[in-house]
Chain A
Amino acid sequence: MLHKLRQQKAYHLMLIPSVLLVFIFSYIPFYGLVIAFQKYNPGLGFHSPWVGWDNFQHVFNQPNFVRTIWNTLYMSFFKIIGGIIVPVTFAILLNEVAHSAVKRTFQTLVYIPNFLSWVIMAGILLDILGSDGIINSFLSVFGIKPVSFLGSPSIFPWTMIVSDIWKGFGFGTVVYLAALTSIDPGLYEAALIDGAKRWKQTLHITLPLLMPTIVLMSVLSLGNVLNAGFDQIYNLYSPIVYQSGDIIDTYVYRLGIQQAQYSVGAAVGLFKSVVSCIMIVLSYVLANKVAGYRIF
């Protein structure tokens, strides 16, 4: 052990600056969590009076807070599932395209929405999805009554899920495409000799070899299970869809942040971090146990 350390001294030294940065900017700020248990006054700083679990109690006693947890889980669950299936499928299909210019064009096209902020996207979506927008005009050709994509509590979460997947799947596609290029072509040739057609090849070569990347991406995204997308929902929701569209972040924003209630914000942030941390550990252990995949 010690011998090994001495051997790799140069590497460890090179590691120090980044470890130091992480320590200063990610670990020291942990101390700030104390304000979740204080009645924070910016003037008093961390010497604000202690209030125990009052901030947590205040938030959890709000009658509408519980439904926001459910809404958050509901939307982020489908966003995560769709966020895996769609880009994997698309990447595999795109990989089959022989013409490299076409392939690159599509890859770039689906990646573009990823770079637009939700503020801009929301403006566009409000126009497209309105009762006299493009989609409803299109539907009316078939005699379908205008659908209130953003004003109906039962449809709103799905509008969020679909638009979020649409906006984000370009990034996943690029990642999976990169993983696909690293698959040894010799495997396909061997399979071809054994008589495996495209479908069989995909099933028995491509997917298993993509699995580590898929597991990695899912584990990473599970950490976000309590972030159902504040930017997106805040810019698109309205009081009429609070019952199904209000998520933890938007609720806490209205409860506390607007009025600079830092303690409440910190309390909810801590709650979310703890749950997310448990989710990450759990999913990692599960991925290791069930599928035998490890990241480290």
Chain B
Amino acid sequence: MVKIKKLTSLVLMASLVISLAACGSDSSNKDTSQSEDPNTTSEIADDNVDPAFGAYKDTVTIHTVTSESASASYPEGDNVTKNEWIRDYKEKFNINVVTDWVSDEYDTKLNLAISSNQLPDVFHVNAAQLQQLIDADMIYDLTDVFDQYASDRLKGYMQADEDSYKSGMRDGRLYGIPQMHWGLIDQPDYIWIRNDWKEELELSDPKTIDDVKNIALKFMEKHGGYGIAVDQSLEYLNLLAIAWNAHPGVWMKGSDGKIVYGSVQPEMKTALAAYADWYKQGIIDPDFAVKDFAKMNANVVAGKVGMQPFYQWWGYNPGVDTVTNQGKDAVFYPYLIPTADGTPATQSIFFANGSYTVVSKKSKNPEAVLKLLNYYAYIVDEGYGKESKEKLSALLDKDMAHVVGAFRVLNPNSDYEQFEHVTEALKSNDTSGLTTSGMWQKYNNSVDFMKNATPSSTGDYLQQGSPKPAYGLAKQVLDNNQYIKTALWGATPEALINYGSTLNDLLKEGFTKIIMGKESVDYFDKLVKAWQAAGGDEATQAVNEAYGG
């Protein structure tokens, strides 16, 4: 009995101590972080000859967190926390990168880490988290560090897309380094048409939106089923809206100079009227309202439908599966979405930068991350020719280029330049212009597809190497300025975030009813009023305050 009593009290004591310790660490950490943040950089500066690429004398350890990259395949024994990149960081910069955790639910897990004040030194965040962290004064003001340590190439990235760069700032100070994107060239949208069907019926390229409809009708006559594959999200169907000069989802300048929401403009009503008519004729999948992305693609892959409004990456998904199942000739080719009178439609361009690299205020070496970002940019853009083939392959191939989490920054011009060089090389058979490993990958895969019809090469081929490459059309759109950019270029105003997706869901539900003929087209006007009352007006005002004028 006495023993039991002792044991219980011991257990009780232990649990009490643990819980007290857990509560205590929170506040004590906060105090130290506030007292020690100024001038931590000065001592390191003179350690290095070259601030951008020089190695540390003494090993610097930085902690980070990351998510699993599903598509990457590692050599035996390696993983996302232990790989060629991590070894290079140690070898070239004497920086020891320690990964505290890896999670598929990265954002949720990071939010937990933020709220328990257990931030790693360097990590990547989304736009909302960036704002919260600045509010809570938890991340480092990187303005000076960036000026001093960023390579010219990295600074060039920021100049190439100054809007994204500024979205990482508050009051002129840089807190988050935007991780950037592949460039605006990947944004224009297309109507993809199955090529063997089109040639079999000797149809010409669509010049007007009525041609698109007629091709669909001809396909249905010959192959049965429905004409155009779309899904319940309306995301893909709405890519076609630009044919009627509607820009759903885009915050655009209205006639009076104020910013308005594209989905509730009168042009959208015209587009919906056309969709409803197409639905009635059976052109649009009669089951689209209950199909998600995978179900939409299932019939494309099965060869039951020959048209799909889609992005430039059709060739990767569902393209790869389509070629695997239906053969090389079944590839779809992209066509620019035409308007009713035959001019190419004005495309919608959205803000592309989704994540930022930030440094915890508690970090002792806020400049270390810049060396690693410099290194990433160097390897991707300049590595070819300067580094050995084996080295580059180990760092970049098999999606290894995507495993570096916070230490990644993309060249916002990369896809545009890459495409120019790849087309040139394919045309002339002269590969001297291929200067990055990315260019070589696209070139090799395009050649591979033409020679061997390898399904896994379909994506690169249709994007850049085919006779009708998606990027060829996109380049045309960019070069001729045939696009409008959304006004929401950067962080989303809070008033809009507070509504989540409910405002768009309201429209989605109403639009679906109109398309399916459950409501008349005039229901659109009622819907717009409901949207305004539900918070649309408030959101519009907030966007105008943040981005208007």
Contact = CB atoms under 8 A, between A and B. Distances in A.
Binding between chains A and B: yes
Interface of A: 10, 13, 16-17, 20, 24, 41-45, 58, 62-64, 126, 130-131, 148, 150-151, 238-240, 242-243, 251, 254-256, 258-262, 264
B111 to A, nearest CB: 5
Interface string B421-437: 00000000000000000
B521 interface: no
A258 B135 contact: no
Nearest to B117: A45
Contacts of B5: 13
B100 interface: no
Contacts of A259: 128, 497, 500
A147 to B, nearest CB: 12
Contacts of B137: 43
B516 A240 contact: yes
Interface in B499-541: 499-502, 505-506, 508-509, 512-513, 516, 530, 533-535
Given A13-B5, A239-B289, A260 B502 contact: no
B519 to A, nearest CB: 11
A13 B8 contact: yes
Contacts of B117: 45
Contacts of A256: 500
What are the nearest 9 A-B pairs in CB distance? Answer: A43-B136, A42-B114, A42-B115, A240-B289, A255-B500, A238-B232, A239-B508, A239-B509, A151-B290
Interface in B1-17: 1, 4-5, 8, 11-12, 15
Nearest to B114: A42
A296 B259 CA distance: 63
B404 interface: no
Interface of B: 1, 4-5, 8, 11-12, 15, 19, 26, 107-108, 111-112, 114-117, 128-129, 132-133, 135-138, 232, 234, 286-287, 289-290, 292, 295, 497-502, 505-506, 508-509, 512-513, 516, 530, 533-535
A128 B315 CA distance: 30
A43 B115 contact: yes
Contacts of B26: 45
SS class, residues of chain A in contact with chain B: helix
30 contacts: A10-B1, A16-B12, A17-B11, A24-B19, A41-B136, A42-B112, A42-B132, A43-B132, A43-B133, A44-B135, A45-B116, A62-B502, A62-B535, A63-B530, A126-B295, A148-B290, A151-B287, A239-B289, A239-B512, A240-B516, A242-B505, A243-B509, A254-B501, A254-B502, A254-B505, A255-B499, A259-B500, A260-B108, A261-B500, A262-B111
Contacts of B116: 45
B111 A260 contact: yes
A240 B286 CA distance: 13
B533 A239 contact: no
Contacts of B111: 42, 260, 262
Nearest to B116: A45
Contacts of A43: 114-115, 132-133, 135-138
A278 to B, nearest CB: 27
A234 to B, nearest CB: 12
